[in-house]
Amino acid sequence: MDLVLQLLFTGIGIGAVYALVALGFVLIFRATNVVNFAQGEFSMVAAYLMVVFAVDHGWPYWLSFLIALGGMALLGVIFNLGVYYPLRHRTFLPVIIATIGASILLSNSVLAIYGPQPQVLQGWFETPGIQLGPVYLDSQYLLIIAVTIALVIFNYWFFEKTLLGKKLQATSQDKEMASLLGISVSTMIMITFIYSAVLGGLAGILVAPVLFVSIQMGSTIALKAFAATIIGGFGDVAGAIIGGLALGVIETFGAAYISVPYKDGFAFLVLVAFLIFRPQGIFGERVAEKA
Amino acid sequence: MSAPSDNMPIPAPAVRSRPLLLRHLPYFIGAAILVALAAGLRFDGYILNILLQATTFSIAVFGLSVVLGLCGQINLAQAAFFGLGAYAVGLGTNDLHLSFWLCLVGGCVVALLAGALLGMSTLRLGGHYLAMVTISFQQIVTLVMINAIWLTHGPDGVSNIRRPELFQTSQSYLAFCVAMLAIVGYLVWHLSDTKLGRAMRAVRDNELAAGVNGIDVFRTKIYAFALCALLGGLAGGLFAGGFAYVSPDQFSFAESIVFLTMSLLGGVASPIGSAIGTGLLILIPEWLRFLKSVPGLYLAIYGLFVILIIRFMPDGIWGFVADAFSRWRAHIKAPPVAAALQLKPATVGGEFVLEVTGLSKHFGGLKAVDGVDIAVRRGGVHALIGPNGSGKTTTLNVLSGLYEATSGKIVLDGTDITRMPPHQRTAAGLGRTFQNIRLFRSMTALENVEIGAERPGNTMIGKGEDALTERAMEALNFVGLGHRANELISSFSYGHQRLIEIARALAANPTLLLLDEPAAGLNSTEKLELHELLKRIAAQGLTILIIDHDMTLVSEAAQHITVLNFGRRIADGESMAVLRHPDVVSAYLGSE
């Protein structure tokens, strides 16, 4: 029982990271109808930025953190202008392929600069964790869960209560109508890319002390996050979060009770099971096209 | 489905099919010369390895030209399928001491099955699912290759892989691979002009239109995907025999991206492009060896290539060349002549071709169509009218199977089609056009109409390509566009595109033709032409159910009118009587 509680805590912690990246997926998907296959690389790049500033240069953690997030915002801008925007009038297939190209470009550029050796990044806190009854609460996992909760609340407030959030929603639902109402669609899409790059970056920085900082971390996280969005129901914000948490828990238990080397395979099995038995996910996606 | 008397296949002229083989003779002569060169020339080991790699990789990239180029579906796991074939040959010949041929076939079968299963789980959904699932599959295969040491030898890989007795020397094995490349290339090249190939292109261009033209979209995608996997497996098996050693890193996700880049660079739509792209991307890194000295650098450049090609050269190198060539050819190639179009709608049922009873379609709480009855009399023109939002197009979409009915029953010519998917309804005799035209935009007018003519159950065409072309030409002539048969859809005006869509439906010789606002967006001359066309169609006894806003058109063309308002039927009967009906007048003009 103690082990179960411990695994549950770890699972939710890792699931929260998937949820954050999944949120970035969903936001871009809703704004542009495109799945950004480089979303995971945002996390990887941000983690490496942290390594550069906090570890290599030895700058304060908070300062490195702000610089890394600033760098992610910039990356979001470059990504939009270089990859998505020129293809915005094409069908989804070329755009998907271009984002895959971008993902390959990002991860291998970092590989070429930094080499294949995984890097280590310390957590925020000096204290490694606290013992709460039978369960040991790792401080970094606690932080991840807290930040995810805060971001979910922020996200709700931002999209439902602010004018900018409503403009973003309007753009994602009907671009033509939004532009007729005087909303600058290209600005809104730019903001979406910046926001989801920062979100992905944040997830990467949070998870870096738990995993190693490596070239593969981006694609690993992205695959899980994508599976999470399908499990939750594609394009649904709440679904992405629930799906992410569920996947983290399933994976942690799978690794503990079934097999460690195949840990990364469980997400795939769950994904295929959902695709076969409930393709619309827990919360449902409208897949139909209008004739 | 139809009486035997309707079965009047036009005899296919046998003389015309002979030149096909003759025309392809240069290809086989060229291929034979290449095989002879591969067998005869003396290469040193380095060149030999490069040629062997280029040959086997090309076959794997051919697979991508089928799935991505022809069918428009993405596959980011081609290296995994390649690996399945390679490991089958490696483990089979090394550990189990089986014959090379048996292992090669076994590897192909494993790859084919894996591809088909993967496709079945995902292809019903959108392309982004497929992309992610294939990446996941790729990761799983890599995980198994590295971790299942008892089976795969783990990271060390498999060595001492044997070749067939017949091709023991590297030179003869290369010649064998070149011969395989030539055969597979020929098949893939001609696939696009077969029924399956046309279906794949139709699916790529417009899935909805493919479905209502009698193509089983899901199955077509699975065929494309499984074929791609099969070619990957074949290529992998040949690769393993050629290099005698395989290890997991040769079949990683990065290699799948390399395959994708090769395919995109050369031109995804054609095997020639695939071969060009593969050759270039194997040679360029050899010339620029320093790129490989920094890990990641050459893949980073591939990633950049992918973005740039998609942005600036979406059809690849060969697409660019072929496009110029086909523009030139379309003008010199005279369309074939054809007889007058005959419509012989099937007749087995009774007085009514279509009987709809209690049809409902609810979207959540919205009752878009609510308990509607429609009976369409055989040989007549029946109109379905109503104000905007009255449920006309929804009704049509439920009839053609794009939406599933919430309740009610649809009987077409004696067959209950209520629960059938769109392509089966088309096979049962339904034809339709769309309000917003849905043609296959990368094809010529003739090819579009040919897909219509290929409807399963079309009794008006004989066997073979020539009969098909002839039927399609008849339909195009019928709408007056036969002389422009070989032009691409994009060169036609809006009105003409609508006529092509009607020709596509007519070529299928439907029992019932559904026309969804055919007059929408047409100018007055075009409307007159449309009106003439409808008369000529009706004169052949084809039953038509038409939706339109143009009251002149409706009242002159239709003998019978059903009126919908707010999803319910408010009037039904002979045209003039219905149009004078007070409920109809108030629905259109508002009541006092």
Question: Residue A1 above 80 pLDDT?
Answer: no
Residue type, B395: T
Q: Does A87 touch chain B (CB under 8 A)?
A: yes
Strands ordered across the beta sheet of B543-547: B430-432, B512-516, B543-547, B381-385, B560-565, B568-574
What residues contact A267, with CB distance under 8 A and at least 6 apart? A223, A224, A227, A247, A250, A251, B136
Q: Please give the average per-residue pLDDT across A182-194, as a whole number.
A: 88
The mean per-residue pLDDT over the stretch A103-127 comes to 87
**pLDDT bracket for residue B331 (50, 70, 90):** low
Question: Model confidence over B43-52: pLDDT tens digits?
Answer: 888 889 999 9
Q: Where are the beta strands (DSSP E) in chain A?
A: 129-132, 135-138
What does the mean pLDDT of chain B come to? 86
Long-range contacts, stretch A125-129, CB < 8 angstroms, 24+ apart: none
pLDDT of residue B11: 40
Tens digit of pLDDT for each residue in A204-217? 999 898 888 998 88
Tracing tokens 């380095």 back to the chain, one arrives at B46
| pLDDT, average across residues B77-98 | 95
Residue B218 in contact with partner chain A when CB distance is under 8 A: no
Confidence of residue B337 (pLDDT cuts 50, 70, 90): low
Distance, in Å, from the CA atom of A18 to the CA atom of A15, rounded to the nearest integer, reads 5
| CB-CB neighbors (< 8 A) of B516 in chain A | 291
State yes or no: pLDDT of B591 exceeds 80. Answer: no
Amino acid at B437: I
**pLDDT greater than 90 at residue B501:** yes
CB contact under 8 A, B434 and A111: no
The string of DSSP codes covering B386-405 is -STTSSHHHHHHHHTTSS--
- Residue B322: pLDDT above 90? no
Instruction: Report d(CA B580, CA B587) in Å as an integer.
Output: 12
- Measure the CA–CA gap between A235 and A247, rounded to whole angstroms: 17
The Cα A250–Cα A260 span in angstroms is 13
Residue A190, φ and ψ in degrees, nearest 5: -60, -45
State the smallest CA–CA distance between residue A50 and chain B in angstroms. 21
Chain B residues in contact with A86 (beta carbon < 8 A): 311
Pick from A92, A101, A272: CB nearest B307: A101
The helix/strand/coil state of A4 is helix
Closest CA of chain B from A2, distance in Å: 30
Question: How do strand B543-547 and strand B381-385 relate by DSSP bridges?
Answer: parallel
Q: Say what the pLDDT of residue B71 is.
A: 92
pLDDT of B61 over the 50 cut:
yes
Residues from chain A that touch B314, judged by Cβ atoms under 8 A, are 90, 94
| Residue B146 C-alpha, separation from nearest chain A C-alpha, in angstroms | 10
pLDDT for residue A249: 92
CA–CA dist B305, B287 (Å, integer): 17
Contact (Cβ atoms closer than 8 angstroms) between residue B465 and residue B546? no
- Closest CA relative to residue B301, chosen from B310, B291, B289: B291
Spatial separation of the C-alpha atoms in residues A146 and A17, rounded to whole Å? 11
Closest CA relative to residue B508, chosen from B586, B576, B437, B426: B426
Specify the higher pLDDT residue, B287 or B189: B189
Of B76, B122, B310, which is closest to A275 when you measure between CB atoms? B122
Which residue does chain A place closest to B68, by CA atoms?
A93
Question: B19, B252 in Cβ contact below 8 A?
Answer: no
Compute the distance between CA of residue B42 and CA of residue B38 in angstroms, rounded to an integer: 8
pLDDT tier, B85 (very low <50, low <70, confident <90, very high otherwise):
very high
B311 touches chain A (CB under 8 A): yes
Alpha helices in A208-262 (DSSP H): 217-232, 237-257
* Phi, psi torsion values for B433, nearest 5 degrees: -120, 170
For B10-45, what is each residue's pLDDT tens digit?
443 433 445 666 778 888 888 899 888 888 888 888
> What is the Rg, in whole angstroms, of the alpha carbon atoms belonging to chain B?
28
Task: Report d(CA B82, CA B3) in Å as an integer.
Answer: 50
Return the closest-CA partner of residue A219 out of A236, A204, A197: A204
| In the predicted structure, residue B515 carries a pLDDT above the cut 80 | yes
Q: For residues A219 and A44, what is the distance between their CA atoms, to the nearest angstrom?
A: 8
What pLDDT score was predicted for residue B8? Answer: 38
Band the pLDDT of B285: cuts 50, 70, 90. Answer: confident
**B23 CB-side CA count, 13 A:** 7
Is the CB of residue A62 less than 8 Å away from at least one CB of chain B?
Answer: no
